Amino acid sequence: MPTDGMSEPDLEGAPPSPSGSGAWYDNGCLVILLLIVFWPVGLYGLWKNQGWSRGGKWAMTIGLLFFFAAMIGTLLAGQGESRIEPASSHRPVRPLTMEQRMARIVKDAMGEKDNWSGKPSRIIQIEKIRQVAGPGEGKYLVKVWYRADESLSADGTRRSMTTDAVRFFQRLFEEPTCSDIYECFLAPHLQLVDQYGQPKEGQVAKMVLARPVAAKINWQHMWALPERFENLLKSEGGLWLHPALPALR
């Protein structure tokens, strides 16, 4: 009924209230989920939502921008680190010195340690001498003092020592990185007994072989007959044997 001459307002043309709105952006939980899963749509919904204040919308927007900026920065930093290789990989590999090359060949041919001294390495000393004249001019003579292995018998010790020398010389003169070595002098040592009956380490042989002679050798035929190699050294190289070493039988 009309009162005071005024009619009741017509509610049919008024906009819907927020509490009764069916728009998706007025669903706060949905907007927050979209901000996490698909932020462009979530950000649009945030500013369309009528339930949050303008200050709250700005705070969430700025916080969201900082969050994604931090994520992007972290990803870019990670990609940058993955592209950076360790500094050591860019350093040029230094070639081995002649002493290091010779030590490696001794180790490959005879083993790292001898079987009697208890020393950490069989090598005693390595010396290189540059040839200034003769057929090896400009190349090197290398001298290697080392401890040979002992066997159960004196004959077996001499055979083992000569066989190790064959193996060493073959590897030396077939090694491409040792092409600057013209001649090699081997000085094996064993445990001897002096005039007082005291054990004493001493040199028991000297074996010298030059590259031109090594180039003629069929190494397979030297392995089984160490006396053949000793005879070759006597005639075309250099060989001295300690009197305590017996003749090969």
Which of 88, 120, 148 is the last residue before a domain boundary?
88
Residue 233 φ then ψ, to 5°: -65, -40
* Together in a domain, 59 and 142: no
pLDDT digits (tens, 9 = 90+) for 55-87: 777 877 787 777 777 878 787 776 665 555 555
* Together in a domain, 137 and 233: yes
* Together in a domain, 236 and 133: yes
* Together in a domain, 201 and 178: yes
pLDDT digits (tens, 9 = 90+) for 156-186: 999 999 999 999 999 999 999 999 999 999 9
* C-alpha–C-alpha distance, residues 110 and 239, integer Å: 19
Residue 6 pLDDT level (bands cut at 50, 70, 90): very low
Instruction: Kindly state whether residue 246 falls inside one of the protein's structural domains.
Output: no
145 versus 4: the higher-pLDDT residue is 145
* Together in a domain, 53 and 108: no
**Model pTM above 0.85:** no
Q: Are residues 222 and 228 in contact, defined by beta-carbon separation less than 8 angstroms?
A: yes
Q: Closest by alpha carbon to 146, among 189, 108, 183, 98? A: 189
Q: What average pLDDT does this structure show over 223-242?
A: 94
Q: Closest by alpha carbon to 26, among 52, 6, 3? A: 52
Residue 32 pLDDT level (bands cut at 50, 70, 90): confident
* C-alpha–C-alpha distance, residues 156 and 131, integer Å: 36
Which of 88, 117, 146 is the last residue before a domain boundary?
88
Instruction: Kindly state whether residue 1 falls inside one of the protein's structural domains.
Output: no
* Together in a domain, 77 and 133: no
* Together in a domain, 32 and 82: yes
Query: Is pLDDT of 17 > 60?
Result: no
Cβ-proximal residues to 123 (8 Å cutoff; 6+ apart), any chain: 103, 106, 144, 145, 146
Instruction: Kindly state whether residue 227 falls inside one of the protein's structural domains.
Output: yes
Instruction: Kindly state whether residue 233 falls inside one of the protein's structural domains.
Output: yes
Which of 68, 88, 108 is the last residue before a domain boundary?
88
Q: Note the pLDDT of residue 15.
A: 39
* Together in a domain, 133 and 235: yes
Q: Vertex 239, ends 178 and 102: CA angle to 5°?
A: 20
Query: Is pLDDT of 237 > 90?
Result: yes
* Together in a domain, 107 and 153: yes
Cβ-proximal residues to 202 (8 Å cutoff; 6+ apart), any chain: 189, 190, 191, 192, 242
* Together in a domain, 73 and 175: no
Q: Are residues 93 and 103 in contact, defined by beta-carbon separation less than 8 angstroms?
A: no
Q: Closest by alpha carbon to 237, among 216, 35, 220? A: 216
Token match 């950076």: residue?
84
* Together in a domain, 203 and 110: yes
Instruction: Kindly state whether residue 4 falls inside one of the protein's structural domains.
Output: no
Percentage of the chain lying above the pLDDT 70 cut: 84
Weakest mean pLDDT among 25-39, 51-65, 120-134, 190-204: 25-39
**Number of separate domains in the chain:** 2
Instruction: Kindly state whether residue 12 falls inside one of the protein's structural domains.
Output: no
Q: Are residues 157 and 149 in contact, defined by beta-carbon separation less than 8 angstroms?
A: yes
Token match 């001649």: residue?
183
Q: Which domain holds residue 52?
A: 18-88
Residue 230 pLDDT level (bands cut at 50, 70, 90): very high
Residue 3 pLDDT level (bands cut at 50, 70, 90): very low
What CATH number does the domain containing 204 carry?
Answer: 3.30.70
* C-alpha–C-alpha distance, residues 3 and 183, integer Å: 130
* Together in a domain, 23 and 66: yes
Q: Note the pLDDT of residue 12.
A: 41
